[in-house]
Structure 1
């Protein structure tokens, strides 16, 4: 990576821009070229005419994927000398990826519809000789958006649903970088754009709620599959743990127990992100414990639904178990420093199957203003008294359960 400027910024905007000199930029690019043999390069913010000329000269033999980032989200101008930018950068581009606003600024053509995207894409191709133009549709109104790709002969569209998400800082950079990465792997332009769009949609969906302004998108969500592999390993270890824990049978209620464990809470979007045991955790006649392996994602147990309801409220919980109600257990959990609150199940309204866990969380939030780690009820006719206990970390859960078993 070659740095074009040092910016003073946070999520609320850019305060100052300190561009590096053309000589410093040329030195960075030259040193990278000595180490890496690359065919494609992605350009983002290139600030002024001196830098434009360096890019044009130093990367003359590369195929440039250009993110035309003219203004930041707060309105700060990130490209000075726009006419020189068109002459030195756009005319060297292999692909440009403007949004509707940027495309309008570069051509003078107003973009308000899919048809306008096609018109401006052709104009960019003809005005600057860019082989491939991708006009993104995120700024065009509608519930469904399209990226319009033009190769000089034909148009094709990549459609996607609009995501209502505040935290979108870095969308253009992620999109163009993904295209460059896919092209570098030998993929064609069309498939590269499709992959980049899928990556961007997920990154927007999991945008990070940080700072007081517009947070960044999060491409890290791609590691969700590997996160799930880790969760499955931890579920297996947890099952072995409770089967080997002497006296754990004392904690199991009449309806039996189950344990749910999720990917990090910020990445939970549904039951498919939460693992639980297909069978329950049961006690046998000889005071042993049997875990209902295997662990599976997406199984709608009460513990999985409750964990999903917690994360939906922003609670940083990734592990949850239900255990037998015992006043001594409540006292012991409080001794560990956990808050415990009671839910009155007699107040539960009539609702459809699977809504009880959501109601419990809503009841606690409404009556206590937050969700403590221990939620219990003393039961009612047809409903066994129960303790529901969550932690943010499976090791904390194990340590707490071990303490309960030892002290009960």
Structure 2
């Protein structure tokens, strides 16, 4: 049996709701062997980020080397990258090892408001990672930063997706969680020529910590399994919807999503 493998390059979330912890949980639930290269250690919980401790560029590069040389990933996801130096290192390693299924989640702000990407690193993200990306998965505020445009309508989101594709991304997914309309959320996929959208009911809950990481991780897992972008997109949307709908309700602040809800509910409906 062939084992599908996915690598997450991201920060560590001590609270377990986002970052590499969320990614590895998602990979496991979707039947993919997960590996990690840590960019930074954070001290955080549901109430916020209390400390950020970045690793060096050398430490990050050595982690990627160790994984790629022995356990070549079928897909790679990036999350919290922190600095331009780390972004440059990932771009270099992507080329060195021919990692052609790179999913870039442009993590900029934590749920509690802490900055997770230095402002001067945004240009490096656009210039070095997006052109190498199989897919980019911003939320609306992140898409505004990356495109320099204001996004107020669904048509604005389409224009933003087109702009991001022009930067070199093969596929763009702009998530709709920050922009619900009439009690529904619409997630949008652009494949360079046509749009696909998935609509589902808005779930009114504060327990959404790690939804962006989890979505991109689910997309990465399905891509590692050889699924096409539309199928991977649909699974990622449903995985996050189940994770939010069946909330764990833990923590005093923005609680984590329920990473085992999708698999559990799938088994129950068989």
- TM, length-normalised to structure 1: 0.54
Equivalent runs, 1:93-242 vs 2, <5 Å: 93-126=133-166, 128-142=167-181, 143-224=183-264
1:38 corresponds, among 48, 70, 73, to 73
Q: Which has the higher contact order (CA 8 A, sep 6+)?
A: 2
Deviations 1:116-164 (A, max 9, x none): 11111001111x1111000111111311121111111111111111111
SS for the counterpart of 1:218 is coil
SS for the counterpart of 1:2 is strand
In structure 1, the residue matched to 2:117 is: 79
Cα separation, 1, equivalents of 2:52 and 2:202: 32
In structure 1, the residue matched to 2:29 is: none
Q: Which runs of 5+ in 2 are unaligned?
A: 1-35
Deviations 1:9-67 (A, max 9, x none): 11110011111000000011111112212231011111101111110011221121011
Cα separation, 2, equivalents of 1:195 and 1:155: 17
Equivalent runs, 1:2-401 vs 2, <5 Å: 2-60=37-95, 61-62=98-99, 63-80=101-118, 81-126=121-166, 128-142=167-181, 143-224=183-264
Cα separation, 1, equivalents of 2:42 and 2:190: 33
SS for the counterpart of 1:4 is strand
Cα separation, 1, equivalents of 2:263 and 2:127: 40
- Cα-Cα RMSD: 1.6
Cα separation, 1, equivalents of 2:232 and 2:68: 24
Contact kept? 2:247, 2:257, Cα under 8 Å: yes
Count of residues in correspondence between the two structures: 228
- Which structure: larger Rg? 1
In structure 1, the residue matched to 2:5 is: none
Cα separation, 2, equivalents of 1:224 and 1:9: 28
Cα separation, 2, equivalents of 1:187 and 1:223: 18
- TM, length-normalised to structure 2: 0.81
SS for the counterpart of 1:219 is coil
Cα separation, 2, equivalents of 1:136 and 1:223: 22
Cα separation, 2, equivalents of 1:73 and 1:222: 22
List 4+ stretches of structure 1 deviating above 4 A.
225-228
SS for the counterpart of 2:43 is strand
Contact kept? 2:139, 2:175, Cα under 8 Å: yes
